[in-house]
């Protein structure tokens, strides 16, 4: 094991260290988590017989995803396996678990987290994604093991924000003095809400511009939080002159699953806000476009990122874009190491 380990400075939570909302993190935690992530990436790349591959042995991570997921589930499972943690993956529990027979969500959590000692316990950490925002808090109340919020309806997605911030730090070299534009469905996009809470809290001299259709504005809880913390933000309905002033443009797809009543042509009304080659041209060369993914390319004429840019961001030979501003695949790559570092912290493996 290395002599020095930034994880030693990770806070020791009292009781179960749930990860529920990004407001719970502070700059000290973020800096040490990211320092540890740097170290993991470096050691993982350079050494094979690594202490870290066994650090989680005898632990079990249970993934409980009530909503569709590609990256969050796969990267949590992979992060766990990289640390020697065993995994149980419960997909579609709304169809496959005893909740079908009327069991309460709380009782399900009591079973997964149950047992007074590890002989009887099924999971040591539970990663939950649920359509109903309050469920992750309910889980945290009844669970004796850490609950990690992997997306609670339109509310928050804290671990995605850790990935987003780590990507910003890596791409731009800093978390301070940034002008961050967030465009798209800010009302229902949980990733941008978590990002605004987190960067608004831990970044110094950060300011935001929220760019959205008037029906999809950032909700008042986030705006109120930023006001109370003296974080400047502006709201607008078009790009206007703002693009050349941005350091980051964070893109959120229209969250159609949150509002089934949504008018069918709504996506077309959002076309003026889509990211096109012309939008990219107006950004500063060191600026970065980030997207938590998925890009909704089901109707290519209205996708929030123009298909030419999607194709260019990482071509079929896995060659990176000529233009480093198209950064969203590099951002997604960071999901595994950041979640590895988080699991070390949450399970207090060090």
Residue 307 CB, shortest distance to ligand NCD, in Å, is: 18
The catalytically annotated residue of 157, 187, 193, 201 is: 157
Token code pair at residue 285: 């060369």
- Give the shortest CB-140-to-ligand NCD separation in angstroms: 19
The least CB distance from residue 65 to ligand NCD, in Å, is: 10
Question: If binding is defined by CB under 6 A, does position 193 make contact with ligand NCD?
Answer: no
**Of residues 21, 191, 212, 331, which one binds ligand NCD by CB under 6 A?**
191
CA distances in angstroms from 346 to 79, 220, 278, listed in the order given = 13, 30, 43
What is the token pair recorded at 229? 């913390």
Tokens of 314: 């990482």
Cα dihedral value 41, 42, 47, 50, nearest 10: -60
HEC secondary structure over 168-207: HHHHHCCCCCCEEEEEECCCCCHHHHHHHHHHHHHCCCCE
Site string for ligand NCD, 209-248 (x = CB under 6 A): ----------------------------------------
Cβ proximity to ligand NCD, 71 vs 170, nearer residue = 71
- Nearest distance in Å: CB 150, ligand NCD: 7
Residue 74: CB partners within 8 Å, gap ≥ 6?
Answer: none
Q: In Å, what is the CA distance from 162 to each residue of 5, 316, 336?
A: 19, 28, 11
Q: Which of 59, 73, 129, 130 is catalytic?
A: 129
Peptide bond into 294 cis (omega under 30): yes
**Is 72 an annotated catalytic residue?**
yes
Residue 330 in contact with ligand NCD, rule: CB under 6 A: no
228 belongs to the catalytic site: no
66 and 129 in contact (C-beta within 8 Å)?
Answer: yes
Q: How far is the C-alpha of 287 from the C-alpha of 299, rounded, in Å? A: 27
Query: Which of 276, 291, 296 shows the shortest CA–CA distance to 327?
Result: 291
Please identify the residue of the shown chain whose CB is closest to the bound ligand NCD: 292
Point out the catalytic residue in the list 9, 71, 110, 314.
71
Catalytic site includes residue 157 = yes
Nearer to ligand NCD by Cβ, of 190 and 213: the residue is: 190
- Specify whether the CB–CB gap between 227 and 261 falls below 8 A: no
Please tell me the count of residues contacting ligand NCD according to CB under 6 A.
10
| Residues 99-158 contacting ligand NCD, CB under 6 A | 151, 157
- 253 sits near ligand NCD (criterion: CB under 6 A): yes
In this structure, what DSSP letter does residue 219 have? P
Give the active site residue among 22, 69, 72, 209.
72
Q: Which of 59, 130, 179, 190 binds ligand NCD (CB under 6 A)?
A: 190
> Cα angle vertex 169, ends 11, 22, to 5°?
45
Least distance from C-beta 144 to ligand NCD, angstroms?
Answer: 27
Residue in 270, 293, 309, 327 binding ligand NCD, rule: CB under 6 A: 293
53, 71, 217, 236: which one binds ligand NCD (CB under 6 A): 71
Min dist. Cβ of residue 194 to ligand NCD (A): 9
Q: Which of 335, 349, 337 is nearest to 71 (CA)?
A: 335
Pick from 22, 32, 72, 303 the residue near ligand NCD by CB under 6 A.
72
Site of interaction with ligand NCD (CB under 6 A):
71-72, 151, 157, 160, 190-191, 253, 292-293
Catalytic residues: 71-72, 101, 129, 157
């Amino acid at each position: 094991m290395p002599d020095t380990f930034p994880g030693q400075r990770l806070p020791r939570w009292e009781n179960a260290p749930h990860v529920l909302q990004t407001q719970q993190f502070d700059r000290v935690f973020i800096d040490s988590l990211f320092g540890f992530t740097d170290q993991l990436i470096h050691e993982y790349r350079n050494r094979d017989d690594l202490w870290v591959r066994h650090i989680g042995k005898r632990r079990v991570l249970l993934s409980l995803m009530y909503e569709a997921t590609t990256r969050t589930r796969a990267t949590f499972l992979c992060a766990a396996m990289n640390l020697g943690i065993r995994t149980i993956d419960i997909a579609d529990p709304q169809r496959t678990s005893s909740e079908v027979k009327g069991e309460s969500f709380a009782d399900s959590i009591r079973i997964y987290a149950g047992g007074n000692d590890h002989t009887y316990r099924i999971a040591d950490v539970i990663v939950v994604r649920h359509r109903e925002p309050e469920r992750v808090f309910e889980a945290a109340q009844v669970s004796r093991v850490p609950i990690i919020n992997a997306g609670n309806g339109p509310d928050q997605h804290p671990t995605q924000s850790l990935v987003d911030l780590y990507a910003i730090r890596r791409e731009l070299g800093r978390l301070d003095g940034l002008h961050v534009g967030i465009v798209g469905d800010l009302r229902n996009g949980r990733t941008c809400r978590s990002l605004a809470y987190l960067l608004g809290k831990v970044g110094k001299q950060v300011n935001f511009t929220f760019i959205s259709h008037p029906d999809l504005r950032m909700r008042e809880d986030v705006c109120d939080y930023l006001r109370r913390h003296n974080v400047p933000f502006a709201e607008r309905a078009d790009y206007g002159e703002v693009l050349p002033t941005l350091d980051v443009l964070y893109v959120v797809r229209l969250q159609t699953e949150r509002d089934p009543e949504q008018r069918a042509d709504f996506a077309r009304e959002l076309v003026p806000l889509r990211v096109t080659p012309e939008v990219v041209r107006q950004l500063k060369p060191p600026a970065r476009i980030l997207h938590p993914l998925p890009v909704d390319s089901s109707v290519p004429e209205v996708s929030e990122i123009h298909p030419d840019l999607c194709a260019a961001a990482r071509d079929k030979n896995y060659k990176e874009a000529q233009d480093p501003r198209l950064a969203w695949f590099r951002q997604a790559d960071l999901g595994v190491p950041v979640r590895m570092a988080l699991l070390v912290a949450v399970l207090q493996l060090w």
